[in-house]
Amino acid sequence: MSQEPVPKGESPRKVEVSTSIKSFESDETYYDNPFADPKVAEYYRNLYETSKYECRAAFDPEFDWSPEEEKKLVRKLDFRVALTACIMFVSLQVDRGNLGQAVSDNFLPDLGLTTNNFNAGNTIFLVCFLLAEIPSQLISKRLGPDIFVPAQIVAWSVVAMAQGALSGKWSFYITRGLIGALEGGFIADLVLWLTYFYKSKELPIRLSWFWTTLSIVQICTSLLAFAILRLRGVNGMAGWRWLFIIEGLFTLLIGLASFYLMVPSALQTKNKLRPNGWFTEREEKIVVNRVLRDDPSKGDMNNRQALSLRAIYKSLSDYDLWPIYAIGVIAYVPTGTVDKYLTLSLRNLGFSTLNTNLLTIPSSVIHIVFLLLITWVSERVNQKALLGLVVPLWTVPLVGVLAFWKDSMKNPWGTWAVATLLLGGPYIHAICVAWVSRNANSIRTRSVGSATYNMMVQVGGIISANVYRKDDAPVYRRGNRDLFGIAIALIPVLVFAKVYYVFRNKQRQTKWNSLTSEQKEEYLRTTKDEGNKRLDFRKCVGKIQGRQRVSAGGKEPETHLVVNISIVIPFTVNSLFVHYLGIAPIRNAIPEPQFHTCQIRSGAKCFLGPFDMATFYGSTSDKKERVWTSITSLESEPEDANPFADLKVADYYRELYETTQYECRHVFDPSYEWSQFEEHQVIKILDFRVALMACIMFAGLQIDRGNLDQAISDNFLDDLGLSIANYNMGNTIFLVCFILAELPSQLLSKKFGPDIFVPTQMVAWSIVAISQSAITGKWTFYLTRGAIGALEGGFVAELVLWLSYFYKSSELPIRLSWFWSTISLVQIATHVMAYFLLRLRGCFGIDGWRWLFAVEGSITLAIGLASYNIMVPSAVQTATAFSPHGWFTEKQEKIVVNRVLRDDPSKGDMNNRESLTLAAIVQSLLDYDLWPIYAIGLMAFIPTGAVGKYLALTLRNMGFSTFSTNLLAIPHQILHAVFLLWVTKLSETIDQKAFLGLVVPLWTVPLVGILAFWKDSMTNAWGTWLVTSLLLGGPYIHAICVAWVSRNANSIRSRTVGSAMYNMMVQIGGVLSANIYSQDDAPLFRQGNKKLFIIAIALIPVLVFTKVYYIARNNQKSQKWSSMSPEERDHYIRTTTDSGNKRLDFQFSH
């Protein structure tokens, strides 16, 4: 097709091209090709020839392949490459880690070694490992990792077997030094080899498998050591000697096999034992070109090309990698120290040799789960530094227990539990290794950078090997305090790394944007900048996504892909060419940048090129036309999710909205358009007017619902002559009344509207809350608790329903997380307030807790009165006496209404003043598709609920003062808020709810286990406070579940009743939690904590069942829908009596 210039007088304009297709998959082969520009392709072709890149014969800028071919090939790579790397890593860990098992078999006494000798041996190993890193990389680059790595394994395995003949201190030192020197560089060599076959974004998860192997090997070798160490005495040899010989022999076999397993490159996979190689000719081209399109720098050196001294110096002085090196030094010191001494500590605590080895297994199992999860999440959310903060958030409190708990290193099971949680925690090593590789952007820097990062990790290892000293044994108080300080120090390092890379990217982008198109092209041709110092080095920040939806009118399901294309700079790329069907890019600058929107046909291709401007030439459905554009952003447009694009669907819902007298029906407009900027401005208004106001009103709920806990810290029970049983009864009455009021409250709210009913509720319960200051005994306590429960019932569900009027489904969870974060903020504020209010005890002869109820109830009353002005009936009814002009302009009203309806058309199927019928209520109650989420709500919060209700009382019983008790309740609230926001945001980012919910039992089970089985639980003051603070501050999925119910209801009716039902289940769980701890079990609550332990474990199968159930239901619907013809689907949509989530064209979220 000819390439024509832009005609004079014509301006760039928008084109839309759409079609019906059955599926859409983004093809990275197409849209991530930096060689689409011939000049870029020619530059790299010359570079690959100059460097004698071993795969240059397969380089083809125009080569195409399908996503299915690539997926099949990646599976082959996982078997041939990733699995091989894991097997070889086994050999490293076997010989590197068996010293810990040997120590459990009297290794030190047999050789007459002290703790300091043991430290010296570990230090010698690490120093030699560190010093060998770069020399190992130099040799590996000269000979190739396929030759050098197997030779390394064979060499160190021989020395490992020689450890069976150790005779004393000096032979111990020599063998540790030799093993360190021979193992040094192995990891960096293997990582570099993996980069030959995998793209940057594929590497982290493969590296997580790599380090998962470490944990699996530790489990296996612990079990193996259980058997081998029993050979003590056979042939007069100690068990640890047999251990070194047998495991060294096993490593030798892997080393010999590795000469066959490893290959030089994707084009050099043939040998005598494998004459046909790994790949077909086509597969070879796919392997090579997909990796080069991901990172063209991977061909800038030959795999047998040695590094020069100048190149090494240049890489070492690459300051842009130093922040990651700093993380490597610090991040693993706390776990490294505890890990090295785990077996020795357990032996000192009285565990047998065999039990010691078995007790190291649980931490490895937890470690595997966390490693795979955190690496996967890192790639999904594209965050490394900030996600790395989970490490200090996990380690600081646990190392704090070891440092400041008086029974640390004395209490066997308590110490083991804390050490196991610490060693099994989040591990970011795989993320950091891939991070170095990705940010290096050249083979030279990547090779030396990987080695340098590993050297920094070994420096940290040297530090960790010398934290515990003989004069500090066996409790290691000083050492654990040092670890506590190091764990805290990681936080500013991670924050600095994030800020630094953001600053560096902006700095370069500013320089790049200041260049003209001609200057940029000249820079690309002539620059001497290399690797990550190039101005055009970036990672692409956009994705092209398709969405499938059901269409009426006898059409096939349609996929409309709407693309806004932005200036992004991946490698040598500054703009994006969209190449669809017969459309070819024409390089031609245009006068003014224009916004480009297109709906791309099936088979769309997208190419990358190095110019600011691009012109598109091609055909629409029936004629040729030219389209010119500049490229400004790559994001989805509102049209992306417009179910009303089909006119029959639009007519169906228009009629429905008229029938229901939907209050916003007059602004419904299926063809209405708006920009993303306008939508963002509207969301900002909504966040201030709706979300923030909802949080303020929720504060009113939490103030009066939660201040009883503060009151009991001020002798509330003693002043009124109440027992624990009376306290439990009061909480139960509150919860029962709360539950019973849920549905009636929802009915009244639907009749009068939440904007009228919710403020009325708040005013009513605040009056009762104030009256609590006049409580005289048991019966007035019961009466006020019941009245507050009945008046607060339904409040949460009503507020959630009100929020759903303004927000899309994907936006709701994060707003609900703000909603429940308010709980933590209010509790922090009220605990501080209580610190002062409770000091008023005796003022005017009134108890401190009476002042508390009176003052905080008055605050709620003020919020309730203000809420009459804060809440509005709908987006088109925002004018009030205090805000006569309303919240929105006419255009903004249409945006609010239409964006919400396009997200969920069912949000207009009822008027906001329309009451629910009895039949509708029964139908919603019997909606079995929501029952799995109800079951989660019933069980998920019982452990934290029980512990939370008794926290103040427990702390008082352990000797803390009233004021210290209130202040000690603050830390877990901060942690709770952080986890709530993080886990909710993560849920929406990765679009997982049930599986992500598993983080709750994984967090609560070990902590509740400590409360249940630790002998000092509820007696050791600071230890108990720390465990309960971690438990109460853990992951909280309430916001996820509330939004989940709303999303899976798919109708106003089901959403209204479903939200109430879910909240009722949560309150029933609250009733159970209020009665777990009983008078006859006080004050240790052993039986109660064991019940909580079982309930926490029981949540796991419930979450798994929920996931499986929704997948099965979606598959069931899809099969029925797929079996229907287009005409039958059209007839179904027009005539079906199925409603809400029972419609065949609705899919459940899970």
Q: What is the pLDDT of residues 836-853, one digit of tens each?
A: 787 777 788 788 888 888
Which residue would you say has higher pLDDT here, 143 or 11? Answer: 143
Q: What is the pLDDT of residues 314-369, one digit of tens each?
A: 667 778 888 988 998 888 899 888 887 777 778 788 887 667 766 777 787 777 77
Please report the pLDDT score of residue 554 as a whole number. 35
- Asked whether 421 and 366 are in contact (CB, 8 A), the reply is yes
Mean pLDDT of the chain: 75
**DSSP-assigned states of every residue in 829-861:** HHHHHHHHHGGGTTGGG--HHHHHHHHHHHHHH
String of b and e for 533-569 (b: at least 16 CB within 10 Å)?
A: bbbbbbbbebebebeebbbbeeeebbbbbbbbbbbbb
Percent of the chain with pLDDT over 70: 79
What CATH fold (topology level) applies to the domain 67-505? Growth Hormone; Chain: A; (1.20.1250)
Please report the pLDDT score of residue 517 as a whole number. 77
Q: What is the pLDDT of residues 1051-1073, one digit of tens each?
A: 666 666 666 677 778 878 877 88
Q: 67-505 and 674-890 share one CATH topology?
A: yes
Element (H, E) at 584: strand 584-586
Which residue would you say has higher pLDDT here, 1136 or 17? Answer: 1136
Helices (H), 441-575: 443-465, 477-513, 517-526
Q: What is the mean pLDDT of residues 78-104?
A: 82
Task: Report phi then psi at 768, rounded to 5.
Answer: -65, -40
C-alpha 928: how far from its chain's center?
30
- Asked whether 540 and 570 are in contact (CB, 8 A), the reply is yes
Please report the pLDDT score of residue 448 as a whole number. 67
* Lowest mean pLDDT across 486-500, 797-811, 1094-1108: 797-811
Collect all residues with Cβ–Cβ distance below 8 Å to 868 and sequence separation of at least 6.
759
- Assign 155 a pLDDT band (cuts: 50, 70, 90): very high
Q: What is the mean pLDDT of residues 601-623?
A: 32
Q: Helix 724-752 crosses helix 692-712 at what angle (to 10 degrees)?
A: 160
String of b and e for 1033-1067 (b: at least 16 CB within 10 Å)?
A: bbbbbbbbbbbbbbbbbbbbbbbbbbbbbbbbbbb
Closest alpha carbon to 902 in 913, 894, 891: 894
**Architecture of the structural domain at 927-1150:** Up-down Bundle (1.20)
- Bridge-based pairing state of the strands 584-586 and 613-619: antiparallel
Return the CATH number of 674-890, one of 1.20.1250.20, 1.10.3720.10, 3.40.190.10, 2.60.15.10: 1.20.1250.20
Tokens 């021989």 -> residue: 158
Q: What residues pair up with 635 in beta bridges, in sequence order?
A: 564
Question: The pTM is what?
Answer: 0.44
Peptide bond into 474 cis (omega under 30): yes
**DSSP-assigned states of every residue in 177-197:** HHHHHHHTTHHHHHHHHHHTT
Collect all residues with Cβ–Cβ distance below 8 Å to 802 and sequence separation of at least 6.
690, 694, 754, 755, 758, 871
Please report the pLDDT score of residue 303 as a whole number. 65
Q: What is the mean pLDDT of residues 926-933?
A: 84
- Assign 311 a pLDDT band (cuts: 50, 70, 90): low
Q: What is the mean pLDDT of residues 1016-1039?
A: 83
Alpha-carbon torsion (484, 485, 490, 495), positive or negative:
positive
Tokens 């406070």 -> residue: 1025
- Asked whether 651 and 865 are in contact (CB, 8 A), the reply is no
Alpha-carbon torsion (706, 697, 1030, 403), positive or negative:
negative
Please report the pLDDT score of residue 541 as a whole number. 28
Closest alpha carbon to 975 in 850, 827, 832: 827
> What residue type is assigned to position 623 of the chain?
K
The SS3 assignment for 362 reads: helix
Residue spans of the domains in the chain: they are 1-32+540-641, 67-505, 674-890, 927-1150
- Assign 625 a pLDDT band (cuts: 50, 70, 90): very low
- Assign 30 a pLDDT band (cuts: 50, 70, 90): very low
Which residue would you say has higher pLDDT here, 439 or 400? Answer: 400
- Cα–Cα distance measured from residue 838 to residue 1084, given in angstroms and rounded to the nearest whole number: 27
> What residue type is assigned to position 783 of the chain?
L
- Cα–Cα distance measured from residue 292 to residue 299, given in angstroms and rounded to the nearest whole number: 7
Count of residues making up the chain: 1150
For residue 906, pLDDT over 50 is answered with yes
Tokens 């909205």 -> residue: 657
Please report the pLDDT score of residue 121 as a whole number. 85
Q: What is the pLDDT of residues 941-998, one digit of tens each?
A: 888 888 887 777 777 778 777 666 766 777 777 777 777 777 777 776 777 888 888 8
The SS3 assignment for 604 reads: coil
Note the maximum CA span of the chain.
Answer: 98
Greatest mean pLDDT among 166-170, 434-438, 447-451: 166-170
- Assign 378 a pLDDT band (cuts: 50, 70, 90): confident
Collect all residues with Cβ–Cβ distance below 8 Å to 902 and sequence separation of at least 6.
638, 641, 642, 643, 644
Q: What is the pLDDT of residues 723-749, one digit of tens each?
A: 877 877 887 788 788 778 877 877 787
- Asked whether 356 and 104 are in contact (CB, 8 A), the reply is yes
Q: How many CA atoms lie within 13 A of 526 on its CB side?
A: 6
- Assign 445 a pLDDT band (cuts: 50, 70, 90): low
Please report the pLDDT score of residue 620 as a whole number. 32
Q: What is the mean pLDDT of residues 523-534?
A: 67
The SS3 assignment for 558 reads: strand
Collect all residues with Cβ–Cβ distance below 8 Å to 36 and sequence separation of at least 6.
61, 577, 579, 585, 607, 608, 609
**DSSP-assigned states of every residue in 1102-1129:** HHHHHHHHHHHHHHHHHHHHHTS-HHHH
> What residue type is assigned to position 974 of the chain?
I
For residue 500, pLDDT over 60 is answered with yes
Please report the pLDDT score of residue 633 as a whole number. 33
Q: What is the pLDDT of residues 639-666, one digit of tens each?
A: 345 778 878 778 878 888 888 788 888 8
For residue 585, pLDDT over 70 is answered with no
Please report the pLDDT score of residue 96 as a whole number. 76
Task: Report phi then psi at 619, rounded to 5.
Answer: -120, 145
**DSSP-assigned states of every residue in 30-76:** HHT-GGGSHHHHHHHHHHHHHHT-TTGGG--TT----HHHHHHHHHH
Helix, strand, coil percentages (3-state) for the chain, rounded to 5, are 70, 5, 25
- Asked whether 1092 and 1008 are in contact (CB, 8 A), the reply is yes
